[in-house]
Structure 1
């Protein structure tokens, strides 16, 4: 009888441990630099928008704020080699601060890679990548759902100018969900629009990763979000955690971490906003 009781106890412990291990697939966001993020979710690792060049590798973006500065303005906080073995890569759009020559050269060409549309997929395939998939409203990586959203990468006035519109092109966000896990929305290079507001309300993510550098194109204003947009997200999703990235790495991003930190304190929302340093890991 004692042996039977002991056996049952061991089985129950094993079942309990198995359940805990399944539920302990912790999610984390590690900001690498700019919009480059290592995202761990559902036991899988995603490398998002890799820009892997050394400091100062490229000239500043012409026609934008501080164009005399070279990009990226800071070094990677980790070795580029440590970023080359994710389960999958996601490229929200192919601007060089999200998908640069160094990443194209260094990343293994057999890795699964998600592009936002057919045009980007064809470009990336031409760069040698073999397993390029196109994000949709209902994409999947194994049992993780990836939902693409539209991101307007500049004002209506900017898109009314054919030359600027061609440069800005299309951008996208990605919403991650999985049963038993918090939902996470990478908003992408977007400005605030009615569509974006609608995405927030419909998706209702637990975590929003927001590109908040307030990048400026001369004569056309911001092409990504700024500090006021952080508060707007909070007003719509008061229980969500907001992770602010895409700052202090590219010439035209004018919002600093300190300015954003001061602002969220002033607004009384600093407990809901995380402003990570390059290399910092956020677990949730």
Structure 2
């Protein structure tokens, strides 16, 4: 059972609990991206099991009227075993989603996975247009060139600052430089796309930038934030007719995810404690 202090960041241990969470957020105007917790499998069996779980979750979403979709991690569905297994399982999930009219996001993990992840995205999106989206990380120095590679792909693109601790040879490590790259990448997407732009950020400055650029360019876009972080802002933005998606993980592997959220930002622990105490 997930303790109250962790349940702020995790939408339950079962698909049913995750779908209930999505229904509650939908009632507040917020859409939900559901992620089954799990990553870095070096055995093909759990990778295949989680891919099957995602196909079932896609069916569950399709059989409801929920504004919800799914998000997978490459290392969860085979990339740590082989690029071929990941490509096979990812395609299977996306093709099933395409049949059921449910959207699939693919997260981006550490820099070593970037090429295989982008190759799979471009390949699958070409055959299943506007069914799949890919995340890219602005802290990587290569990202602007990667954006040029995917800007015309018929799928959504989510841009985030990046949470992985990468070496300075390949990544910007100073906060100000990451913010500069992130602003530039957001501007590039809005200038070159008329749809399918996702800005994954809790930074009010970046959210305001996205709103301004969306109005200037007439681009369809969405704001994405994590469950448990700036929940009030998510509801407020949705009330102002901004398309808001909350990334909500669920599943039995919740403990390591919760610790990661706390390590990333100590304020998250304060938010969680206040939520538990009702203050």
Between 1 and 2, higher relative CO (CA 8 Å, sep ≥ 6) is seen in: 2
More helix per residue: 1 or 2? 2
Greater C-alpha Rg: 1
Measured against the shorter chain, the TM-score band is 0.3 to 0.5
TM-score, with normalisation over the residues of structure 2?
0.39
TM-score, with normalisation over the residues of structure 1?
0.39
